[in-house]
Structure formats: C-alpha cells, structure tokens
Amino acid sequence: MIDEDLLIKYGAKRVEYSKGDQLFREGESALNFYQIALGEIKMNNYNEDGKEFIQGIFSIGQSFGEPPLLANVKYPANAEAISDAQVFQLPKMPFLELLSSNPKVHLKITETLAKRLHYKAIMASEISSQEPEHRILRIIDYLKSRDKVEGRFQYRLDLTRQQLADLTGLRVETVIRATKSLEKKEELQIRKRKVYR
C-alpha cells in the first residue's frame, strides 16, 4: 500500500516474526503503523470459552491496526503471525508526518479504512442473522472482489476450513457441511481440498 522506500524514509523498521508470534495484544496501546512485507498476519479475539474469532487476515502489501492508532484508543484485537513474516513498523508520530506530507497516501489509507468498515458492517449483519451457507458465500465473494478475480470458479480460497469458520463465527463441522452443500448446488467447487468460487 505505502511504498516501502517512503516508509523507510520516515523511519520504518523491517521486523521479523515467526509463525505464532504476537505483534500486539487486545487492550494494549496503539503505538505503531504496521505494513506486511512478507507473510500473513491475522487479527483475532477469543471468547470466554476460548473460541477464536478472526477479525481479518492480512498479507503482503496490506496494513493493519490503523484505527486504534489514529483514534488514540487501545487495540480491540490481537495481531498474530500465521506464517513467518516481515512487517514494516513505523511509530505513530512519523506515520502522521508521512500522511500529512503525502496527501495521495493519506487518501489511499482513508479508502482502505472505508472498505474495511464496509466489510465489518456487512459481516456483522451476516453473522447475526444469516444461514451458514449464506455467510460462507458472502465472505468468499468479498475476498474474491478484494483480490479482483472475475469469472465463475476462478477464485481459489486460500483459507483453511478452521480459518473460514473463525471468520464467519461458525464451527468447522458446519463449514464442511455447508461447503459440500454449496458444491452440490453448484455455487462453488471443491478441487483437491481447495474451495473455488
């Protein structure tokens, strides 16, 4: 999203994380802007029973955790590496200077946050009221449009069944049953254990 050279110019450090490492935890103060150079990061919460809910999965070129940084509030979720990763980390004040000195970058960040807010509004509605099959199709269609893939069964979902369950608030068993049902209805295809939409 933000050019790596520009991040470095403003003082960003490239930090390495191993799979499973926590970048920050729910309730901590937001101190840095984060952008992924390599790997994947998830933002998640756990309920009282220990069930994980994934707020989002972010990959190369994407940033995460900006709303608490800009709003001066604590993180509402954890950030965890789901693969070995390298992440640009830029402290808050240099990040704000970067935004004020680069209006096009500022606009791009604003657009990204608006898209995430739209996604959150859709998913809140889906999780609270829709059937499992509908929830699954909705998240897959969102990811397909985000990745700008067109055509029937051209998008390969690179999430595990567990991750899909955690994103939709469903149990893994429900996701498996629902995806098989959706395949029978020709809404998606399953090839070599991967889901295509």
Residues 157 and 76 in one domain: no
d(CA 170, CA 167): 8
Residues 92 and 136 in one domain: no
Q: Is residue 55 in some structural domain?
A: yes
Q: Total domain count for the chain?
A: 2
Q: Is residue 121 in some structural domain?
A: no
Residues 97 and 158 in one domain: no
Residues 19 and 91 in one domain: yes
**Residue 105 in contact with residue 131, Cβ under 8 Å?**
no
Residue 140 has a pLDDT of 92
pLDDT in tens, 128-177: 667 899 889 988 998 898 888 899 999 999 999 999 998 888 899 999 99
d(CA 88, CA 109): 15
What's the domain range around 188?
130-196
Boundary-marking domain end, from 56, 82, 102: 102
Residues 43 and 84 in one domain: yes
